[in-house]
Structure 1
Amino acid sequence: MPDAPLKELLATIGMNGERLAGRVNALAETLRLPQRVHPKTPYKWIQGQTPKPPWRSLVVQVLSQELGRTITVEEMGWPPDEPDTVPAAAGLQTPWTAAGTLRALRAVTHAGLMDRRHFMMLMGTALTAPAHEWLIAHPAQAAARAAGSNVPISVVDDLDHITDRLRRMDDQIGGGQLLSLIHEHLRYVTTLLDEHSYTATVGRRLHATAGELLRLAGFAAFDDNQHARAQRYWIAGLHAAHTAGDRALGANILGFMSCQAKDLDGGREAVILAETARSAYPGASPKVRAILALRAAEASANDQTATATRRAATTNRAIDAAFDALADQPTSTGDPGWSYWMNLSQAHAQAGYCHMKIGDYRQARFHLRRALKLQDSTYSRERALRKFLLATTYIKQQQPDLDAALAQANEGVAILSSEVNSARCLGHLRRFADALTPFRRSAPAKDFLAQSRALINSRP
């Protein structure tokens, strides 16, 4: 059997079979895959044997990292995995340059929502590595392009207006229904960057628009439980924010990555991402400072590697920093448009969540009630989330109040049934239903569970 391309590539990077086995096993562990390969097995691949899934995808991922360019299974002469199983960062290990950003944008947008590959979520250092790279990357050169028809700045203004409307639609109906629309808008912006001419100023604006769309698409995917896809959007978004020279946007994307890690029990990763975001942002916008401080508070409240005392102390410090920031006056440049959602209502809601996680249910209720009182009625998803959180505080307190809990939960169910499509909201409903276990024999709890059964048992 003839030698496979693997032999030549391993010789180029000075890696033998045992080291390759170690690298792919480490990657498998990071991705929480149960399989491991024997240290001698790669020698069979070197001699031309085709690896079984998921090793084909993991080998090309290791090779891509080592060579600094994308290696595909087809280039190796192998058939794709069935399904093609790759880490969420596949194709996104690009240079922190305008050209590298375009490669990342193409990798995310051109594949489309029907990409047949199965993306595996990044965990551990694989998740925090893009944050570190973004933090230390040299500033990108001017993002101008000379070829193609010109993009006037008025077009960017129109694109940003559409992006703003998509953000507000997401607030009202949830991300799952909007993802395809956001993706297509992002694809159009990518085409402008890739095929048209623009000045450096317009180029930076277009990259910032792409970065915010990637942030929004990632959140829509996250809200729909498409976690690996969310990570792909966000990593590409970091590249776009870097090319735009927009530190606040990049820090905000890291904040959302932290939020996801926190929800998926990645306590330490959530803290690292949140604190990286805070350290990277110079702090001109009060709203952005508040957003990043509250992400850090949420991460700390969920960090099970810390003691209860430390969790409470770091959480409260971050909450205090957020409210202090909101009390400041914005600078002459104002707050970024995407930070519109951060206000006292949102700050109280996130503070309430944090106090609930550290077991301070009285303080949690104070903040959640303030959030609901101050809330704009158009934020349906947030209202449902807050109702479920408030209901949970009544159930988990030392002397549970079932009637108060069910009153709040029923209001949340009504919103979720009629207005919002959000897997995250469903998750909070299911967690509340689980908390009702000690009360399942009571008539009110039985009625609630029966009436909300269709929602509780709906798609994950």
Structure 2
Amino acid sequence: MDRRVFLTTMGAAMSAPAHERLLAEPVAHLTRTGKSRRVNVSTVDELDLMNASLRRLDDGGGGDALLLMVRAHLRQVVALIGKGSYNDLVGRRLFSNAGELSRLAGWLAFDAGQHARAQRFWLAALRAAHTAGDRALAANTLGFMSCQAKDIRQPHEAVTLAETARRGYLGASPRVSAILALRAAEAHATNGSTTQCRRAIDDAFAHLDSPTTTAPDWSYWLNPGHAHGQAGFCYLKLGDHSAARRHFRQALRLQDPNASREGALRHTLLATTYVRQADPDLDQALALAGQAVEVLADDVSSNRCIGHLDTLLRDLTPHNRRPAVRHLADQVQSLRATPSTVG
């Protein structure tokens, strides 16, 4: 990774204690008066609906076009914050809107492999969430930053960010608590902390089994299928390939038909379990990897998924003489030749 990006991300991770204070400090009164345009509750309701639509468009595969849409909508919300007049309730909702759009923009940039840009969006999301007094959103954003640290091989920072998020959230929604527990589980797995990882996975499923209560709309994506997918990733990192396979297969059975990008990721990681086991099953691995490639070649943009395919190919290096392995390498190269151009 580019040294400048590494240092930028490292700086954010090392400032996690500051993020913890950010989550805990009180926020100021947000009423804004004047002769400017009046922003009322109905306007913010419409903004919430637009945000929900953008989030669900991402389920199919994201990409640069969606990021452009998110950024355009974010500019509109920021304009309302800076030029409108509103009461305290509306002001807080406006800042939450801006924070969630920044969080989503960061996710899209991260999925395209643009780590420095993703981090800038996420830091903006943290500031907006803090201003709004939205601890759930701030904690969720720290969870995404933990995911980034994990992916760029900063396991200690990933744990710090994930646990900071859990400590900073008051636990009003079991689904949000489950999301944060799974982020922590992934960080602990990457750090090789088996006991803490298993405990966090158990916590996540326990929260999902809790009675349904009000939850932020942005948390809709976490369902049992997605939770099994994340648990599978954790067990793969821990080297428990049998447990990882059970979770990945359950995730694929429960998967939303529209979640094609996640399906590609799960097929790739499931394939990896067959390559890394003591007696590799190359036929199973290559068949699963082929399914992932097929999805990614069909209008799904995710450099992150291609990165996991690259990892799989590295695991397959001892078997490079097999025609099927060379064919997979050619397919992945074709995917890599048309990267996302997220701006």
Query: What is residue 330 of structure 2 aligned with on the other side?
Result: 450
Structure 2 counterparts to residues 220-259 of structure 1, below 5 A:
220-259=108-147
Residue 255 (structure 2) pairs with residue 375 (structure 1): yes
For 1:242 and 1:295, the matched residues in 2 are separated by 20
Query: What is residue 361 of structure 1 aligned with on the other side?
Result: 241
Query: What is residue 317 of structure 1 aligned with on the other side?
Result: 199
Alignment check: 8 A CA contact 1:430 1:456 kept: no
Alignment check: 8 A CA contact 1:176 1:223 kept: no
For 1:397 and 1:457, the matched residues in 2 are separated by 30
For 2:64 and 2:238, the matched residues in 1 are separated by 30
Structure 2 counterparts to residues 136-285 of structure 1, below 5 A:
136=24, 138-147=25-34, 148-285=36-173
Residue 212 (structure 2) pairs with residue 289 (structure 1): no
For 1:431 and 1:457, the matched residues in 2 are separated by 17
Structure 2 counterparts to residues 374-413 of structure 1, below 5 A:
374-413=254-293
**Where does the alignment leave 5 or more consecutive residues of structure 1 unmatched?**
1-30, 34-87, 89-118
For 1:130 and 1:186, the matched residues in 2 are separated by 25
**Where does the alignment leave 5 or more consecutive residues of structure 2 unmatched?**
none
For 2:161 and 2:63, the matched residues in 1 are separated by 23
Question: In the alignment, residue 243 of structure 1 is paired with which amino acid?
Answer: T
Looking at both structures, which has the greater relative contact order when contacts are Cα pairs under 8 Å and sequence separation is at least 6? Answer: 2
- Equivalent position SS for 1:313: helix
What is the Cα deviation at residue 339 of structure 1? 0.3
Question: In the alignment, residue 165 of structure 1 is paired with which amino acid?
Answer: S
What is the Cα deviation at residue 132 of structure 1? 3.2
Q: TM-score under structure 1 normalisation?
A: 0.71
Query: What is residue 301 of structure 2 aligned with on the other side?
Result: 421
For 1:130 and 1:398, the matched residues in 2 are separated by 44
1:123 to 10, 16, 24: 10
For 2:136 and 2:238, the matched residues in 1 are separated by 29
Report the RMSD for the aligned CA atoms in angstroms: 1.8
Alignment check: 8 A CA contact 1:207 1:244 kept: yes
Q: Deviations over 1:362-391 (max 9, x none)?
A: 000000000000001101110110010001
Alignment check: 8 A CA contact 2:20 2:165 kept: no
Question: In the alignment, residue 128 of structure 1 is paired with which amino acid?
Answer: A
Q: Deviations over 1:252-300 (max 9, x none)?
A: 0000000000001111110000001101111121110110000000000
For 2:29 and 2:143, the matched residues in 1 are separated by 26
Question: In the alignment, residue 208 of structure 1 is paired with which amino acid?
Answer: S
Higher-Rg member (1/2): 1
Query: What is residue 436 of structure 1 aligned with on the other side?
Result: 316
Deviates more, 1:341-350 or 1:449-458: 449-458
Q: TM-score under structure 2 normalisation?
A: 0.94
Alignment check: 8 A CA contact 2:100 2:137 kept: yes
Alignment check: 8 A CA contact 2:276 2:315 kept: yes
Q: Where is the helix percentage greater, Structure 1 or Structure 2?
A: 2
Task: Point out 4+ residue stretches in structure 1 off by more than 4 angstroms.
Answer: 124-127
Alignment check: 8 A CA contact 2:20 2:168 kept: no
Identity %: 51
Distance 1:173 1:191, change over 3 A: same
